[in-house]
Structure 1
Amino acid sequence: MKTSFKVISTLIFATFLIVSCSRKKDNFISRNYHAVTAEFNALYNGYNALEQGRSNLNESYFDDYWNVLPIERMQVTDEIMLPGESKNEDFSKAEDKAIKAVQKHSMDFGGKEKNPQIDEAYMLLGKARYFDQRFIPALEAFNYILYKYPASDKINQAKVWREKTNIRLENNELAIKNLKRLLFQEELKSQDLADATSILAQAYLNIKVVDSAVAQLEIAATATKSNEERGRYRFIQGQLYNELGYKDSANLAFDKVIELNRKTPRIYMISAHLEKVKNFDYEQGNKLEVSELLAELEENRENRPFLDKIYHQIGAYHLRNNSDSLAVAYYNKSLRTRSKDKILNARNYEILGDMNFDKSLYREAGMYYDSTMTSLNQDSKPYRIIKRKRDNLADVIYYEAIAQVNDSILHLVNLPEADKVAFFETFIEKLKQKAEEEKEEQERQEALDRNKGLITGGGIQGRPLNTPGGAPSQGSLFYFYNPTTVAYGKNEFVKIWGDRAQEDNWRWSNKSSSGAGNSNSGSEDILAAATEEELYDPQFYLSKIPSEEKEIDSISKERNYAYYQLGLIYKEKFKEFSLAKVKFQDLLKSNPEERLVLPSKYNLYKIYEALGENDEANIAKSEIIKNYPESRYATILSNPELASQFDEESPERLYERLYEQFENQEYDIVISKSEEYINSFDGESIVPKFELLKATASGRLYGYEAYQKAINYLAVTYANTEEGQQAQHLQTNILPKLASKDFVEESNDTSGNFKVIFKFENLETEAVLNFQKTLDEVLKNIKYYELTSSIDVYNASTKFVVVHGFKNGQVASTFDQLLTKEDKKKIKEPYFAMASANYQIVQVHKNLDAYLNVDNN
């Protein structure tokens, strides 16, 4: 009986408690129950999820210290999320908890919220959406607090977060207006003041008002309770002072960051030190003090994660002090740290490239520029600048490689037999030594792998050879699943075969890695194709030396042409007159073809003048005038006052006149004249331009096949010129689109572009022009249509007079019905209509007869 009474009493009390805690009753117990439950259940878990998400966001965010840091560490992406999706599960969880708190614990009576935790729930909701980069929904949550809870203790926070969201939505002016009003009207708590002024500073930065941003950051750095924020704000202050040119003020700001020491993330302190070094006055400053500071930063074990930046700055310091060798050493040290900072890596490579460029080591500079581009975004301006530098070096690298290889071959050709044998015996000794070292390295690697359990039971990578069914034993790893052995295999492949594309017949010699500067590809192919016995036999290598006069002569000509091109490039593009002089002099000593002699001597004369070597210039001038009196060079040198008139016959002026003829559709003349000028100016940089013009004219006159053949010749013969690269682009991307000869069905053509064509064969140009003139007069009388005409060459004997502007094929085919009776008497020639798409095919493939045989008209 006593037990039953206790049970009944408990049930009655529990029922009373549940009924009392209903959201629909406005009493003390209900209000406090739902407030406590919301705060210590849904909101507690929600804020934990929010902080976890923010922590992950900060860890994944990579600050760009090469530019002014943003106030808030948050990477905004352009990724579009579908409804219900989230960029971060933690923020999604925080949002769910906030919604749950509102749904289960809100107590709204007469439009007034009785649960004091619901405004906190909406704050959590807005923050979760903000960090999840759903700024419009976040703005709604913050605005709801301002509308629904004007007396909330979170009202100022809500205003600050609303303006943070406005800034993310690029409403900077609105955010500045609202924040200034907030700061004027309210007495904010320290952290709220710091938050308001810091984001106000960000808004000013966004609209490029730097001085106002600095002032607000000063307030924020003083007011914030977080040393992490204080360190960031002070560092940004220093960056902004540097931007404004106030180095002393910047250094004071950086000193305040350094004073925080371990109270703030170490990256801020290290970066502050390095920024101060960048501001160092190399003329009047104490270099010893800076040198000791950099040495201390380098040696401090706590700074190991930041050695990439420290080494880079030490390199910059030595470079400014003209200690180039030390600078190179430290830039390479920075690269060897495998830094995740791509901009830092790009700058290291670029500086090393520039240093090699300044030393006229263009091939090495090109390699560094290649590495620079791999660390840059292809759509960025720095990438385009480096690419332009690299493209300018392409020809130098290409011709230097040819000159180097062919010089080596010709040197071997001219050696006595005994010296050839001695040379290759020395080479074979080096091969044996290298093979021994690689064998030792392989054995060492296998021993390491065996210790790791990667090689067991005599099989490969832990796979016993006699395992039933070929199944791997427990704990074994297949070769290609192990990154160490895969990397080793890749390195061995590159050592033997070079960098080969993944394609059929990859072992063929002409499949070796393309690109200028691969001067060793020929020797690598010989080694790769040699048997074990041949590899160490001097006679094998002696048999590979060219012996036929024709082959040797071809190598010599190729080398001489490379010398000539290098001389021109060094002289014209890089103004390296000393290097250009050496190349032209070496060329003239090498028994060059006659076509290269006179241009080389004239270029040498101009180089002597540029270098102030007047005696050599006078000798070269006299020789040209005496030995080549009929040449244009002699005319220029003997009559300087006629030089400007003679420029009318310069290659550039001839090209301009020929291009004008091309635009006038005089394609047959362009083709014949181009061939004449190509032969006349052979070896000069203008030749590829004539080749491209000739190819285009051939395509216009003879069609697709002639164009394809000419473009292919240009792409192969002049691969390293701008025109050759343009031809390669046409060959790869444009020609395949023009290859189809299939006509479109004109009855289904919806392009709304048709033409009327009058065909004239073997008719004088004057007669065609007269017809066009008459046609233009007739077209003016046609109402409702804006029609124009043009004369297009079809082939050597056929011209078209084309009427443009028809939007309908039926109207085009009944063109004569648009004419008045008087105009019909003027235009009696037959015509046919054609869709513009088909007209293009006819002009490209010269297949008009095939079109007319199709029932299109």
Structure 2
Amino acid sequence: MRVNQLLTYSTKLQLLLLLGITSFVTGCSQYSTGRLSVGYHNLNAKFNAYVIARDKMREAEIAMCRNRKEDYNQILPILPVLDSLEAQPVGDLLQDVIKKASLVPDRHQNSKWVDNAYVLIGKARLYKGQFTDGIETLRYVNAKGRDEEDKHEGLIWLMRAYVETKDYNSALSVAEFLRSQPLNDKNTRDYYLVKAYLHQQKQEYILALAILEETFDLLPKGEETARIHFSAAQMYDFLEKPQAANVHYKEVFRNRPSYDLSFFASMNSLQNEALTSNDVSTEGGFKRMLNDRKNSDLRDRLYYSMGVIETRKKNYPQAIRFFEESIRQTTTNTTQVPYTYLEMAKVYYDKLQNYELAKAYFDSSLALLPHTSPQFQKITERKDVLDEFVKQLTTIRTEDSLQRLSQMNPATLDKFLDGVIEKEIEEQERKVKEAQKLVEQARTLNANALNFNGDPADRFVLYDPVALNQGKLEFKQRWGNRTLEDDWRRSSKVATLLTQTDNITPVANGQNPVTVGGGDITKLTKDSPEWKAKKDALYRNIPLKKQELDASNQRMEDAYYKLGKIYKFSLIEPENAVKTFMTTLERFPATNYKPEIYYLLFLTDQKNNQDSWKTKLLAEFPNSSYTRLLTKANGSIAATGNLELEAIKDYEKILGLYQNANFSEAYAQLEMAIVTYSGSKIEDKYALLRIYLLGKLQGREAYLKALNSFIKDFPTSPLLPRVREVLEAQQSTSIKKNG
């Protein structure tokens, strides 16, 4: 009896235990809303998935920050750009983040960590460059999320994703929604930073700074905050507010910056002090930093800044010397070189009007400048103008020099050409001696080079005398002695002619150029066949016959005409344009370009003889197309419908050039069309298009001036509300800046 009772009790216990386990398992389902189930999944979701994913994300972000290469020549982005290449070294970590965070929605649907996990997944995908998937994940958080703070965090990252993909309208829409939401402290700080980053990427620096000034109090001390202060200082520098910039440069040092960040903050601050105070000497102020051994690999940047200071002080020769020293001080890090070349090009272009040298330095800068640089496209457009300018200028100088040679008597010319060949031989001998000297210097350094203890792959090739000497010998064996210039690979190079009256270097236009590269000319003698062949080739370049002289004059005439148009429409230098057109008329009175030149002078020479050019055009060429344009401009046929049709047709053509980013050509045609179609019904459209072109070609100041002029010149235009809206937006940003 007792045994049966014990068996019954044991069976009941087993049943109760089985029932308890079944109830526990059923109650812990991820779809259950019971307190026990939710607590269980909250615990597992947090410590078995989310925390691990969060820590791996922090590890990946620290690694990306440590490996990031900043370009201090550009304004640092307020937030680091999401670059998939930068994230490649931590790709496995980011994949682990996605894998671990995905466990939360897969196995713990009823936990409170689902929204956090989705935000982590979205961030990881953005870091990996998977913007479409990342945006979809973050949008899902906003649509299905249950925690408002997590949804706000997801929206902030969604806004940043839109900024990275340059979808600024969507980013602004998200920002406008978040502006009305009650954000916690962390989300408020992150929202302000992304909003400032948005305006910075749109180059609305005034708005970006206004937001940052309200954000700095929310930021913890640390290197990232130092970096944001540095970015703010750079934007103030861009807006030509050095004193405000220096306030933030000083804040950089209070936030534990990296050495590079502190170096550039010190240098930029010192540069601003030198510009705003008469008590600070440029060379004296930088002497301490130049003598600091820790800055040995940054001396090129210091000399660059000293050159910038001298440029702003209008001491251009000294500025050029500092820029040249910057190039000489370059070590293994060559990232500064293209910006130094660019600054030199600007000095020669804007300040010294030496367009040949400006072209050379623009070419050098573009060859090394990253294509992602904001300045790349603008420099490319300016370089294209200079290429054409120098081409025409070289043609004029070449033909002028060759024609002067053609006027010499035969004996003098023959003697002169012998002198040209002799100078070429002397120059070749000088280069050979220099090469031998370099080889000897390399040999003396070989022992030191061979004692290099590090990995040979780590040695910069230009500081390895062995590799450098070997490269020089291989180059010389293949190409011969070549001048450092464009197109050095060509097997045929044109001989250099120097006139006795100047140092013009004309480029020959003959059919048979002289080969001067790749051979040893130092052994030539006057009686040798090679000498005679060289002299004959030089003779062929000189226009000695009438038809050759006519062809030379035609090339010069074309070049003067094209040069004048470049001055007027591309370089926007009306005085030089007038001088060039006048020279064309004086040297070539029978030129076929005369009616167009009269018309262009009528458009350009508005201060002096505008009416006289109009009179000449009407009197000498009454039936030319330019005369008809002039009469149209004066309204003689404005009553007909032909003017309106032609105005619309030309407007669409110019608009097409603008849309294709051919701004210089569009502006050139627009300037003529504005005069031609004065009084037409779409005259205001032409004026508005001109405003946009001025903004592209001449910058913000010209753009604002043109906007104000439009309001005065076209008070009844239907386009006026649009112009006022743009102008008010610009004025509001100025008010915020001053406030």
In the other structure, the counterpart of 2:213 is 218
Of residues 158, 164, 167 in structure 1, which corresponds to 2:160? 164
Q: Distance in 1 between matches of 2:539 and 2:250?
A: 75
Q: Within the alignment, does 1:277 sit opposite 2:271 as a pair?
A: yes
In the other structure, the counterpart of 1:535 is 524
Change (3 A) 1:534 1:309: closer
Q: Distance in 2 between matches of 1:245 and 1:235?
A: 15
Verify the 8 A CA contact 2:196 2:209 in the aligned structure 1: yes
In the other structure, the counterpart of 1:347 is 342
Report the alpha carbon displacement of residue 315 of structure 1 after superposing the two structures with TM.
1.5
In the other structure, the counterpart of 2:110 is 112
In the other structure, the counterpart of 1:490 is 475
3-state SS of paired residue (1:535):
coil
Q: Within the alignment, does 1:48 sit opposite 2:59 as a pair?
A: yes
One-letter code of the match for 2:171?
N
In the other structure, the counterpart of 2:308 is 316
Verify the 8 A CA contact 1:254 1:273 in the aligned structure 2: no
Change (3 A) 1:92 1:174: farther
Q: Distance in 1 between matches of 2:437 and 2:267?
A: 46
In the other structure, the counterpart of 2:674 is none
Q: Distance in 1 between matches of 2:391 and 2:541?
A: 29
Q: Distance in 2 between matches of 1:167 and 1:419?
A: 66
One-letter code of the match for 1:370?
D
In the other structure, the counterpart of 2:103 is 103
Q: Distance in 2 between matches of 1:203 and 1:556?
A: 62
Q: Within the alignment, does 1:397 sit opposite 2:394 as a pair?
A: yes
One-letter code of the match for 1:125?
I
After superposition, give the CA deviation of every residue in 1:317-360 in whole Å (9 maximum; x if it has no partner): 223434332111122233453742587245324224327853xx
3-state SS of paired residue (2:308):
helix
Change (3 A) 1:536 1:167: same
One-letter code of the match for 2:94?
A
Q: Within the alignment, does 1:200 sit opposite 2:195 as a pair?
A: yes
Report the alpha carbon displacement of residue 128 of structure 1 after superposing the two structures with TM.
0.3
Report the alpha carbon displacement of residue 132 of structure 1 after superposing the two structures with TM.
2.4
Verify the 8 A CA contact 1:267 1:306 in the aligned structure 2: no
Change (3 A) 1:154 1:645: closer
One-letter code of the match for 1:134?
Q
After superposition, give the CA deviation of every residue in 1:42-84 in whole Å (9 maximum; x if it has no partner): 554454345435655x33x64662x5x432111568x9xxxxx
Q: If the length of structure 2 is used for normalisation, what is the TM-score? A: 0.56
Q: If the length of structure 1 is used for normalisation, what is the TM-score? A: 0.50
One-letter code of the match for 1:399?
I
Deviates more, 1:404-413 or 1:199-208: 404-413
In the other structure, the counterpart of 1:133 is 129
Runs of 5+ in structure 1 lacking a partner? 1-15, 80-85, 454-480, 611-635, 661-721, 723-857
Report the alpha carbon displacement of residue 162 of structure 1 after superposing the two structures with TM.
4.4
One-letter code of the match for 2:59?
N
Q: Within the alignment, does 1:235 sit opposite 2:230 as a pair?
A: yes
Verify the 8 A CA contact 2:223 2:258 in the aligned structure 1: yes
Report the alpha carbon displacement of residue 394 of structure 1 after superposing the two structures with TM.
1.7
After superposition, give the CA deviation of every residue in 1:606-625 in whole Å (9 maximum; x if it has no partner): 9xxx9xxxxxxxxxxxxxxx
In the other structure, the counterpart of 1:553 is 544
Report the alpha carbon displacement of residue 129 of structure 1 after superposing the two structures with TM.
1.5
Q: Distance in 2 between matches of 1:380 and 1:174?
A: 29
Q: Distance in 1 between matches of 2:131 and 2:40?
A: 37
Verify the 8 A CA contact 1:399 1:565 in the aligned structure 2: no
After superposition, give the CA deviation of every residue in 1:182-233 in whole Å (9 maximum; x if it has no partner): 4xx35525xx543232223334556777655434323432222242222233
Report the alpha carbon displacement of residue 388 of structure 1 after superposing the two structures with TM.
1.9
One-letter code of the match for 2:339?
L
Report the alpha carbon displacement of residue 270 of structure 1 after superposing the two structures with TM.
1.7
Change (3 A) 1:210 1:301: same
Change (3 A) 1:362 1:542: farther
3-state SS of paired residue (2:185):
coil
Q: Distance in 2 between matches of 1:652 and 1:493?
A: 62
Question: Whose relative contact order is higher, 1 or 2, with alpha carbons under 8 Å and at least 6 apart?
Answer: 2
Q: Distance in 1 between matches of 2:419 and 2:102?
A: 91
Instruction: Among all aligned residue pairs of Structure 1 and Structure 2, give the percentage whose two residues are the same amino acid.
Output: 14
Q: Distance in 1 between matches of 2:237 and 2:29?
A: 61
In the other structure, the counterpart of 2:117 is 121
Which structure 2 residues correspond to residues 711-750 of structure 1 after superposition, within 5 A? Answer: none
3-state SS of paired residue (1:288):
coil
Runs of 5+ in structure 2 lacking a partner? 1-19, 31-35, 451-465, 497-503, 568-572, 631-664, 666-739
One-letter code of the match for 1:196?
Y
After superposition, give the CA deviation of every residue in 1:409-466 in whole Å (9 maximum; x if it has no partner): 876954398888788667645544443443454566588789989xxxxxxxxxxxxx
Q: Within the alignment, does 1:72 sit opposite 2:79 as a pair?
A: yes
Q: Is the radius of gyration larger for structure 1 or structure 2?
A: 1
3-state SS of paired residue (1:326):
helix
In the other structure, the counterpart of 1:260 is 254
In the other structure, the counterpart of 2:357 is 364
Change (3 A) 1:316 1:405: farther
Which structure 2 residues correspond to residues 618-637 of structure 1 after superposition, within 5 A? Answer: none
Q: Distance in 2 between matches of 1:386 and 1:643?
A: 33
Verify the 8 A CA contact 2:493 2:517 in the aligned structure 1: no
One-letter code of the match for 2:98?
A
Change (3 A) 1:525 1:198: same
Q: Distance in 1 between matches of 2:204 and 2:521?
A: 73
Q: Distance in 1 between matches of 2:137 and 2:542?
A: 82
Q: Distance in 1 between matches of 2:155 and 2:413?
A: 90
Q: Distance in 2 between matches of 1:357 and 1:76?
A: 40
Verify the 8 A CA contact 1:53 1:88 in the aligned structure 2: no
3-state SS of paired residue (2:232):
helix
Q: Distance in 1 between matches of 2:154 and 2:578?
A: 70
One-letter code of the match for 1:367?
A
Q: Distance in 2 between matches of 1:578 and 1:208?
A: 37
After superposition, give the CA deviation of every residue in 1:265-289 in whole Å (9 maximum; x if it has no partner): 533652574267358666xx31534
Which structure 2 residues correspond to residues 385-424 of structure 1 after superposition, within 5 A? Answer: 385-404=382-401, 407=404, 413-415=410-412
Q: Distance in 1 between matches of 2:65 and 2:25?
A: 35
One-letter code of the match for 2:474?
G
After superposition, give the CA deviation of every residue in 1:527-560 in whole Å (9 maximum; x if it has no partner): 4587778525565536744599997724777777
After superposition, give the CA deviation of every residue in 1:562-587 in whole Å (9 maximum; x if it has no partner): 77778778888575699989999xx9
Q: Distance in 1 between matches of 2:178 and 2:299?
A: 41
Q: Within the alignment, does 1:328 sit opposite 2:320 as a pair?
A: yes
Which structure 2 residues correspond to residues 55-66 of structure 1 after superposition, within 5 A? Answer: 55-56=66-67, 58-59=68-69, 62=71, 65=74
Change (3 A) 1:318 1:35: closer
One-letter code of the match for 1:73?
P
3-state SS of paired residue (1:398):
helix
After superposition, give the CA deviation of every residue in 1:721-767 in whole Å (9 maximum; x if it has no partner): x9xxxxxxxxxxxxxxxxxxxxxxxxxxxxxxxxxxxxxxxxxxxxx
Change (3 A) 1:277 1:452: closer
After superposition, give the CA deviation of every residue in 1:690-730 in whole Å (9 maximum; x if it has no partner): xxxxxxxxxxxxxxxxxxxxxxxxxxxxxxxx9xxxxxxxx
Verify the 8 A CA contact 2:366 2:380 in the aligned structure 1: yes
In the other structure, the counterpart of 1:697 is none
Change (3 A) 1:446 1:571: same
In the other structure, the counterpart of 1:817 is none
Question: What is the root-mean-square deviation in Å for CA atoms of aligned residues?
Answer: 5.8
